Structure 1
Amino acid sequence: MAAILGGGLGGLSTGYYLLKNNLNTNNNLKLFLLEATNYCGGWIKSIKTKDYTFELGPRTIRPRGTTGLNTLNMMQDLGLSEHIVPIKPDHPAAKNRMIYVNNHLHTLPSSFKGVFQKNEPFTKPLIYALFNDIKQPNKLLEDDSIYNFVERRFGKEIADYAISPMICGICAGDAKEISVKFLMKTLFEWEQAHGGVVKGLVRSLFKSSTDKELELTDLAKKAQEEKWNVYTVRGGLETFPYTLQRYLKENNVDIRMDHKVDEIEFIDSSTVKLKNKAGNKIVASHIYSSIPAYSLAKLVQKQHPDLAQDLDSIPFVTVGIVNLYFATKASLISPAFGFLVPPIENSPILGVVFDSCCIPDQNGTVLTVMLGGKWFKEKFGDNCTEKQLLDIALKEIKSILNINDVPTAQNVNILEKCIPQYVIGHYERVDKIRQYIKDKNLPISLIGCSYDGVGINDVIYSAKTQVIKDCT
């Protein structure tokens, strides 16, 4: 019997891939999924009404790369193809992505032509960044922050106005702390091996790809052919984990809600006990842990304090989410995906997503304001209330977007320790954690955003990778 810890997207995806492997190998594997709350789906939550949809966590998914196409394969297998709503290259949400600098909104270049034009707040066309890379000397490093790397190769403006706000949007983090391997591992490897990004790119053009191609479903092929920018699910992104949960139940996975585990005891290489304070025990042959690293650290602390220490050293940040709905006939915003705010602006907000442009079936104007992240405590202190975040969000959109209307509906969430930070040395730390598990022959696999990527696609692919590894 295998036990899955956590009913977020990582845990649900693990159950999905274990079932698929079960069918392929004709094994009779009993599966348990243990979720500490009364909800499966993790941070993916949607509030759906006839007039608007509020996404309390992620709202769109990127379809590109192996991980993105893999998710689309899963979507089709779950019967969600007809519910997918893509944003294609000609959509305003694909073309218009902005940053807020010096009290003005600036649209970032979205075409090849734009790279050769001067666009504020940049003082030169972005093509000059490549010339900067060519003339910069090599610097041999094991790891570096993504900010330092980009500043070194492409210049300070690119680091401040392109990369720093991007990191805020992806993981609510500080680019000066996040590892370059988080987003630019290949570019960093080109610098280290060939002395620069452009030099590495040129050499790569003459090498044949060794990547194993993913067998694509019709939905994944369509996304490639139509060059989708991002996509969402009609009715709210919550539909995705809900459908996964239903699939698991239909295939006899024992899903136990409100089942908190307080301690894990490893008996031997094929026996592990999951205990709670009420004295209940579940014995399993293997655990798939998709809960945050800091939560797992508490469960293994008694038996494996060194492992717990390494798990607990992966930092997480808290993000405030303010959803706003304005029941207006005319839109209060220009069509765009939204805007991000670079950290050098010292703003209390990370950015604003224009949901009424990105999400279908919205009436009026729908916005999501993101606050805090790496700077949550610095900006809002230890006892921040939802009312404080709402007031700050309304003040900022009034100042930046000139919206003076009172929202018709609103929702405020403080997502405590919701996004891991892949700081310098993260990947070496994760390797050390997994090596400890291997050396001690512990029957546990680590899944999800704490280790293998913070995005939806990364979490799903992490589950697939670990299941395949354990079943071969």
Structure 2
Amino acid sequence: MQRTVVVAGGGISGLAACYHLAQSSSAPRIILLEGSSRLGGWLQSTRTEDGAVFEHGPRGIRPVGSVGKNTLNMLSELGLESEILPVPGDHSASKNRYLYVNKALHKLPSGISGLLRTIHPFSKPLIWCGLRDFTAQRGTQPDETVHEFVARRLGKEVADIAIDSLCRGVFAGDCQRLSLRSCFPMLYEAERKRRSVILGMVLAGGEKSHFDSALIRRAKKERWSQWSLRSGMEILPEALEEFLRGQGVQIHRDTPLRQLERTADNRWKITLPGGSIVADHLISAVPAKVLSQLLPRSEEPLAKELCQIEAVSVGVVNLQYDGMVLPVKGFGHLVPSFEDSILLGIVYDSVAFPDQNHRGAPSTRLTVMMGGAWFEEGIGNPDKVSQDQLLRRASEAVMSHLGICGAPTRAIVKLHKACIPQYTLGHWKRTENIFKYLKEQMLPLSVVGASYEGVSVNDCIFSARNAVEKLFQWPQ
């Protein structure tokens, strides 16, 4: 008898889970349930009639490691190679990254020479931070904040400026609350195994991976630092949906889960707005906190762990200006929290991906990101913030940071509520408890997505693959 697997959540994690389920030789009956009217989650693009592309979520994907190669394999299998826009390692968007400190842009060092001399906003050459790492004592705690770790090993200035900004750019989070072990596991392992982070990273070498394809080899040969898709990142979920429909996967939009009930034969009765269905297994790709509210009382220990994984909201404002008006060329700049807690950073989209500019006269596309862990205290309640408020704040930042005056020719404002999970101190233990509970209770449930083991697109796709591989180990 064919089993039924329900996937809850039609973002990239849920779509990837369905993709790998459908590829199996013993594919079950697959049902995808999405609570909103669209698939793709935070992968969302706007394409204009004159050819411009504006990304409202992730835009540049890294090709490295097993997780990056896994995503490139998926692109090849979906026939999306011709859509790829690579950014090679010698491109200005790869080499030039900036910080906005003391009301000025400062280029981060990108070579050995930059480490040997004092470069603002730092007060001394960064080579001294490296030397400090070689003499620092190994940490004794099972976890510590990212800020504590970097301050201990590289110095408080690096933690306050560079790492604070990095955590805001990647997690929209506060490095004084985020977990080093969960956010940067490679750094944690490097210190644990080699005592020196720098030595540990060097000796670790390249990550071994069994993934291989012509696209992966091309990315390595051309030294891609990142890539995007010509018609926008939303092309990926659209291609996945087309593939899944061709495989007979049932896809239901506007169908949020209302309640989960465990049956006597260890299946799920899933209550929906228009009735209920029974599933042999559930793959949850919804945020951890959402899942915690769906579980029955009998699974309270699991719900308690899930509800502790918070997420922050981010305002994303896409702006287009006539002409090439940027004072510098690079990927963009980040802003440390002491400089401006509301403004996380500005991405120079036109530099990395000029093919996504509109046809005709030159133009500049920018994306301003704001809020994150500071959203409510700096901007207000996400349910009450207006688009005009976010647009005004973004326009002011572009003028003060980049000297770009005048009104943009295009502006698109998006508010993504609870979009980036926060791996705060002790997150590793929470996830360990979650996976341990699922195994010990033999719960017919898998959890995937950004809430657990990585917030990037690559991480989400890889977690879905791993969950499906484990699922097909079930007794036949």
Matched ranges for 1:275-354 at <5 A: 275-278=271-274, 280-326=275-321, 328-354=322-348
Unaligned runs of 5+ in 1: none
Other-structure match for 1:76: 76
| 1:226 and 2:227 aligned | no
Following the alignment from structure 2 to structure 1, what is the Cα–Cα distance between the partners of residues 184 and 414? 31
Paired letter, 2:470: K
Following the alignment from structure 2 to structure 1, what is the Cα–Cα distance between the partners of residues 99 and 134? 27
Deviations 1:150-173 (Å, cap 9, x if unpaired)?
110011121122211111111100
SS at match of 1:158: helix
How has the CA–CA distance of structure 1 residues 220 and 204 changed in structure 2, closer, same or farther, with 3 Å as cutoff?
closer
Q: In percent, how many aligned pairs have the same letter?
A: 38
Paired letter, 1:375: W
Following the alignment from structure 1 to structure 2, what is the Cα–Cα distance between the partners of residues 338 and 138? 34
Following the alignment from structure 1 to structure 2, what is the Cα–Cα distance between the partners of residues 183 and 293? 17
Following the alignment from structure 1 to structure 2, what is the Cα–Cα distance between the partners of residues 119 and 73? 40
Following the alignment from structure 2 to structure 1, what is the Cα–Cα distance between the partners of residues 53 and 184? 33
1:176 Cα offset (Å) = 0.9
SS at match of 2:158: helix
| 1:127 and 2:127 aligned | yes
User: Aligned match of 1:16 in 19, 23, 27?
Assistant: 19
1:89 Cα offset (Å) = 1.3
Q: Do the aligned partners of 2:257 and 2:272 also contact (CA within 8 Å) in 1?
A: yes
Paired letter, 1:3: V
Q: Do the aligned partners of 1:140 and 1:192 also contact (CA within 8 Å) in 2?
A: no
1:55 Cα offset (Å) = 0.7
Q: Do the aligned partners of 1:270 and 1:286 also contact (CA within 8 Å) in 2?
A: no
How has the CA–CA distance of structure 1 residues 95 and 65 changed in structure 2, closer, same or farther, with 3 Å as cutoff?
same
1:185 Cα offset (Å) = 2.1
1:4 Cα offset (Å) = 0.5
Following the alignment from structure 2 to structure 1, what is the Cα–Cα distance between the partners of residues 433 and 314? 28
How has the CA–CA distance of structure 1 residues 432 and 68 changed in structure 2, closer, same or farther, with 3 Å as cutoff?
same
How has the CA–CA distance of structure 1 residues 172 and 259 changed in structure 2, closer, same or farther, with 3 Å as cutoff?
same
How has the CA–CA distance of structure 1 residues 96 and 195 changed in structure 2, closer, same or farther, with 3 Å as cutoff?
closer
How has the CA–CA distance of structure 1 residues 96 and 269 changed in structure 2, closer, same or farther, with 3 Å as cutoff?
farther
1:133 Cα offset (Å) = 1.2
Q: Do the aligned partners of 1:321 and 1:370 also contact (CA within 8 Å) in 2?
A: yes
Paired letter, 1:412: V
Other-structure match for 1:459: 460
Q: Do the aligned partners of 1:265 and 1:303 also contact (CA within 8 Å) in 2?
A: no
Paired letter, 1:42: G
Q: Do the aligned partners of 1:269 and 1:441 also contact (CA within 8 Å) in 2?
A: no
Other-structure match for 2:151: 151
Matched ranges for 1:23-422 at <5 A: 23=25, 27-49=26-48, 50-198=50-198, 200=200, 213-268=209-264, 270-278=266-274, 280-326=275-321, 328-359=322-353, 360-363=355-358, 364-382=363-381, 383-422=384-423
1:380 Cα offset (Å) = 1.0
CA RMSD of aligned residues (A): 1.7
How has the CA–CA distance of structure 1 residues 202 and 321 changed in structure 2, closer, same or farther, with 3 Å as cutoff?
closer
Following the alignment from structure 2 to structure 1, what is the Cα–Cα distance between the partners of residues 104 and 373? 24
| 1:7 and 2:6 aligned | no
SS at match of 1:170: helix
SS at match of 2:312: strand
Deviations 1:311-359 (Å, cap 9, x if unpaired)?
1110110000111112x23334432111000112134210000111122
Paired letter, 1:470: L
1:257 Cα offset (Å) = 1.0
Following the alignment from structure 1 to structure 2, what is the Cα–Cα distance between the partners of residues 184 and 308? 26
Paired letter, 1:330: M
Deviations 1:363-389 (Å, cap 9, x if unpaired)?
411111000000000101223211111
1:202 Cα offset (Å) = 7.1
Following the alignment from structure 1 to structure 2, what is the Cα–Cα distance between the partners of residues 202 and 229? 19
How has the CA–CA distance of structure 1 residues 106 and 304 changed in structure 2, closer, same or farther, with 3 Å as cutoff?
same
1:213 Cα offset (Å) = 2.7
Following the alignment from structure 2 to structure 1, what is the Cα–Cα distance between the partners of residues 280 and 299? 18
Following the alignment from structure 2 to structure 1, what is the Cα–Cα distance between the partners of residues 11 and 437? 25
Following the alignment from structure 1 to structure 2, what is the Cα–Cα distance between the partners of residues 146 and 59? 25
SS at match of 1:304: helix
Q: Do the aligned partners of 1:268 and 1:442 also contact (CA within 8 Å) in 2?
A: no
- Give the total of aligned pairs: 462
Q: Do the aligned partners of 1:333 and 1:365 also contact (CA within 8 Å) in 2?
A: no
How has the CA–CA distance of structure 1 residues 199 and 68 changed in structure 2, closer, same or farther, with 3 Å as cutoff?
closer
How has the CA–CA distance of structure 1 residues 410 and 203 changed in structure 2, closer, same or farther, with 3 Å as cutoff?
closer
Unaligned runs of 5+ in 2: none
Paired letter, 1:390: L
Deviations 1:74-120 (Å, cap 9, x if unpaired)?
11110001110000112111111101001110011122332223211
SS at match of 1:274: strand
Following the alignment from structure 2 to structure 1, what is the Cα–Cα distance between the partners of residues 108 and 296? 47
SS at match of 2:86: strand
SS at match of 1:105: strand
Following the alignment from structure 1 to structure 2, what is the Cα–Cα distance between the partners of residues 94 and 136? 31
Other-structure match for 1:443: 444
Following the alignment from structure 1 to structure 2, what is the Cα–Cα distance between the partners of residues 69 and 92? 23
Paired letter, 1:145: T
Query: TM-score, with normalisation over the residues of structure 2?
Result: 0.93
Paired letter, 2:170: I
How has the CA–CA distance of structure 1 residues 97 and 199 changed in structure 2, closer, same or farther, with 3 Å as cutoff?
closer
Following the alignment from structure 2 to structure 1, what is the Cα–Cα distance between the partners of residues 184 and 34? 34
Stretch of structure 1 that moved more, 351-360 or 144-153: 351-360
